[in-house]
Structure 1
Amino acid sequence: MTNYKILFLDIDGTILRPDDTIEESTKKAVAEVKQKGVEVFLATGRPLHEIAHIAEELSIESFIGYNGAYAIHKGEDIFRTPMKTETVKSFVEIAKNNGHELVLYTHEKNIFSNLESSLVKDFIHAFHIKNNEAYSLDVIHSILGITLINLSENEQALYEKDDPSIHLSQVNVDGLRHCYDVIRDNVNKGIAVQHILELLNIPKESAIAFGDGMNDKEMLSFVGEGFAMGNAHPDLFQYAKHKTTKVIDSGIYNGLKSLGLID
């Protein structure tokens, strides 16, 4: 058996079920691999200031947030990479001109284009996020990530056309198919994983990752053992070495068991 050293877990649709709970099998699997000395990171598109309750429930202290823009290892910052100011300004303007909403994530806040919008309220409810404020120019230099709200598929090009290093990734959460995360080619979960493995001197063959959305494709492609959840976006499976069961059917537990890491 390969000497596995590190495990990266997406949150929504991977750890969290649609009712925002965590399966007992997932808790058991995480506890068992930690007992065997495996480092565990949460790797999410979410802002890190909104996931403390999940980290506490699983006793996890290391994180990749904002789709790879910020990482923490056992309480210590590894890196933080804000978006270009001109990109943020451009996206705010495009959204305004096309009837879209957006949320800009800083280290501490979720900055919404319009807190009174019903679409924004649905988004806030879906993710149970609390540290919300209305947009103002003074946050423009500290944006770590963006999610766009209310886009049709043919409108992605509005945001991607001016910067070939940026692409949009559809949010894989029921009821939010019109939402897209902004992914940077040089700042994503896969690049973050690469930095962390180099820092901890762990070969990628000893790394495992689980995900369900297209924002996980770089991460699943980079590690030695990449698992796409059974409920994953259909386009994600080609980037994963393995397919496991759904988040509501012990997907993480079954995947780790297939590697011989847990009983």
Structure 2
Amino acid sequence: MKVIFFDIDGTLVPLEGYISDSTKEAIARAKEKGNKIFLCSGRSRTQLVGPVKELPYDGIVAAAGACIEIGGEVVYESVVAKEEEEKFLRLFENEDVSFGVQTKDGIYTTKRGYEKTRERFLQAGCDLEQMEENIALFHVVDDLRNLGPVEKLFYNRSNFTIDYVKEYLGDYFHVELSSFDIHDKYSGEITVEGVNKATGMEYVLKHYGLTQADSVAFGDGPNDLDMLSYANLGIAMGNAIADAKEAADYVTDDIYHDGIYNAMKKFEII
């Protein structure tokens, strides 16, 4: 038995918002052969909408490793210390940008952040129906403080480079380029240092009594590098960023040309 971990955006789902028939077939056949299927994403659990929620997955590594769900039950959650969260809020609350916090129960942003997020989806050419479904998941609040345990922080198209944000926030946090705006050094995703997709994978494997040797991962973006490096077989999509391809063991075809199906056939997973 293998545990196969799939990033969502750019790996399972393109901007157009669908999952190809070949990918659905590959996942179904892999599961029929006794493998475990896990989504491994920067998204929160509540963002598993559209075609993703129809996949036969066994669990989720959500919020870039900060929340793990197995069999419908949350079994692990990493939360940000309040004083550290405050540093993030002070940095961005007076900026005209999209920023917010993710909890296991939802995504929270300000009214201005909501407007900026919607604008960002439109500019990226996202499928309108999927965009509206995703945007509807954002809770708009006046103050992002005291919303319960926070797993992950995010900001998009700010006035600060990722290097500046890293220096400002300090060693407590791990700051990664945004998996959505992958060519934008002014957008980022933030978790507690030492929490990432790879640590989430390790937790899942131990849960099943398995080891790193029993893992396969598919990814394409900045927050997939640890995942692709950690997996016994890390597979980058043909549309992946250069760093993801470098971290992977194999580069398959892109998301529009049956990349997942072709790789799973090549390595006899299906």
TM-score (normalised: structure 2): 0.87
Distance in 2, Cα, partners of 1:217 & 1:201: 24
Q: 1:131 pairs with 137, 143, 155, which one?
A: 137
Distance in 1, Cα, partners of 2:257 & 2:41: 21
CA shift at 1:191, angstroms?
Answer: 0.5
Partner of 1:79: 76
- Change in 2 beyond 3 A, CA 1:31/1:117: closer
Distance in 2, Cα, partners of 1:181 & 1:260: 34
Distance in 1, Cα, partners of 2:192 & 2:181: 24
Partner of 1:157: 163
Distance in 2, Cα, partners of 1:7 & 1:151: 35
Q: 1:209 pairs with 204, 210, 217, which one?
A: 217
CA shift at 1:84, angstroms?
Answer: 1.8
Percent sequence identity is 24
Partner of 2:23: 26
CA shift at 1:52, angstroms?
Answer: 4.3
Partner of 1:179: 187
Residue range with higher mean Cα deviation, 212-221 or 155-164? 155-164
Aligned length: 258
Structure 1 stretches lacking a partner, 5+ long: none
Q: 2:87 pairs with 85, 90, 107, which one?
A: 90
3-state secondary structure, aligned to 1:59? coil
Structure 2 stretches lacking a partner, 5+ long: none
CA shift at 1:141, angstroms?
Answer: 4.2
Partner of 2:105: 108
CA contact (8 A) 2:23 2:260 kept: yes
Partner of 1:17: 14
CA contact (8 A) 2:99 2:113 kept: no
Distance in 2, Cα, partners of 1:212 & 1:62: 20
CA contact (8 A) 1:108 1:131 kept: no
Partner of 2:175: 168
CA contact (8 A) 1:172 1:233 kept: no
CA contact (8 A) 1:44 1:67 kept: yes
Residue range with higher mean Cα deviation, 92-101 or 218-227? 92-101
Partner of 2:53: 56
Deviations 1:202-242 (A, max 9, x none): 12111100011110111111110001111112222221111
Q: 1:40 pairs with 5, 19, 37, which one?
A: 37
Matched letter for residue 159 of structure 1 = V
